[in-house]
Structure 1
Amino acid sequence: MEEAEDRLSLPRPRWANAEIAVWGGASEDDLALAGGYLRVAETAARHWIAHGPDDRLPLPILYNYRHSIELSLKWLIRKAAQCALREGYTGEEDLSPIQLDKRLRTHNIRRLADCLNRYLALLDLPKVEQRIDPDSWSQLNWLDSEDASGETYRYAVVGHGASRAPARQSRRFMSPLRALSPALHLPEILARASASSWKACLRSCFSVPSTPSTVTVISFLPSPA
């Protein structure tokens, strides 16, 4: 146990129950996970800013920010589909859970953003609110141009065969962070801007059913000897 603790280089929490993490259950969805990735990215970015440059951190930080945006888009797509069905949509677009799962089996930001725009257009909203706002759309396009496959911020080298190339580039680290800012809070932006029907649907998505689903409990640190 002591050897494992040494490898982790982590102090023990002040309280025993602080070692326990709970995940799963009715309250966990892509938006909840997106918030976790966002918090990890912000914590690491603040550490980088406070303690000086560390070339090992930018890519993991950018990956966590990017994954937070990807999960937020997937959550919004599911909720837009849910709201459309609730409004009685019976058009050609297949909004079934099975088709949604297939459609969301991608890391491509542009593809997800296009899908969200299509689904927003199905809702009974003012025309201007049936699309992602221009600032967020611009930053999503920029992010897609930086990392279309979801690999650029995840690996040291991306691509295959002759197209293999280093993912890391020398640049001012804060520039991409500032560029991502509008897209990081896309769910909040859409909820603030959208009409009452979309807001009501989003609010209903935060309600927790009375019967919980499976919950996993795990201790991050070894128990005392």
Structure 2
Amino acid sequence: MTEPSLTLFTAHPSGGQSTLIQYNQHMMSERLVAVGYADAARRLSSSYRGEPWDDVMLLPFLFVWRQAIELQLKINIRDLATLRRKAGETDERLKATAVDERLRNPRKVGHNLTKLIAEHNEHIDALDLDALPSNVQTSLELLAALDEGGTGFRYGGVLKAPSADLDFRSMNDALDAAFRILEVVIDAATYGEGV
């Protein structure tokens, strides 16, 4: 049994700059975690060598891209709802507490990518912003169709898809492009001013 004060973090203090990685609870916003997932996916992608062993990283690779995209959609939904409130809309569904409760509740939206994409696009339409590029929309819809609820990439044997030979680089490029576009939606909507 471990000591109550012992945690994974306290058991592994930094031994110097060459091994240092920081966790700062005040800096770890949802936005930074989304960027972290995207960075992890890009690093994982860069390790791909076209060797048979690379097959084992497919689901973890898809998991981190899915997490990055899910979080970025949630960030955008919160920010787009804020923009709609600032524009004078008074719908109760746009209140920050209502949006947050909807995004966190698995019975409403939760981790469901199809619902997140639909709500994201609803806000874009309401604000009369440019729709997502069709290739990005398609990538998001295909990702949602493959793992709508968020468990398909986490466990072996859960994903309901037939065996397939895939173009890893093409798939990575499509998911990376989708994330990069989602990252700049608010900047485009506010001319770089943010919310």
Write out aligned runs for 1:1-40 (5 A): 15-16=16-17, 18-25=19-26, 27-40=27-40
> CA 1:50/1:42 → structure 2, altered by over 3 Å: closer, same or farther?
farther
Q: Which amino acid is the alignment partner of residue 117 of structure 1?
A: N
TM-score (norm 1): 0.67
Instruction: State the partner residue of 2:175.
Output: 180
Q: CA deviation at 1:152?
A: 1.4
Q: CA deviation at 1:77?
A: 0.5
Instruction: State the partner residue of 1:169.
Output: 163
TM-score (norm 2): 0.76
Write out aligned runs for 1:1-225 (5 A): 15-16=16-17, 18-25=19-26, 27-49=27-49, 53-90=53-90, 92-105=91-104, 106-123=110-127, 127=128, 129-158=129-158, 169-174=163-168, 175-191=170-186, 193-194=188-189, 196=191, 199-200=192-193, 202=194, 204=195
**The residue matched to 2:24 in structure 1 has which SS?**
strand
Q: CA deviation at 1:192?
A: 5.9
Structure with more contact order per residue of length (Cα contacts < 8 Å, sep ≥ 6): 1
Aligned residues: 177
Q: CA deviation at 1:37?
A: 0.6
Q: CA deviation at 1:185?
A: 0.9
Report the RMSD for the aligned CA atoms in angstroms. Answer: 2.8
User: Does the aligned pair in 2 maintain the 1:156–1:167 contact within 8 Å?
Assistant: no
> CA 1:179/1:49 → structure 2, altered by over 3 Å: closer, same or farther?
same
**The residue matched to 1:116 in structure 2 has which SS?**
helix
User: Does the aligned pair in 2 maintain the 1:89–1:122 contact within 8 Å?
Assistant: no
Could you give the per-residue CA deviations for residues 102-129 of structure 1, whole angstroms, max 9, x where no partner exists? 2213111121011111222333xxx4x2
Alignment partners' CA distance in 2, 1:121 and 1:67: 24
Q: CA deviation at 1:18?
A: 4.6
User: Does the aligned pair in 2 maintain the 1:110–1:141 contact within 8 Å?
Assistant: yes
Q: CA deviation at 1:173?
A: 4.8
Alignment partners' CA distance in 2, 1:39 and 1:84: 30
> CA 1:150/1:168 → structure 2, altered by over 3 Å: closer, same or farther?
farther
**The residue matched to 1:21 in structure 2 has which SS?**
coil
User: Does the aligned pair in 1 maintain the 2:81–2:96 contact within 8 Å?
Assistant: no
Q: Which amino acid is the alignment partner of residue 169 of structure 1?
A: S
**Runs of at least 5 residues in structure 2 that lack an aligned partner in the other structure:** 1-12, 105-109
Could you give the per-residue CA deviations for residues 154-194 of structure 1, whole angstroms, max 9, x where no partner exists? 11022xxxxxx666834225143233232121234424643
**Runs of at least 5 residues in structure 1 that lack an aligned partner in the other structure:** 1-11, 159-164, 205-225
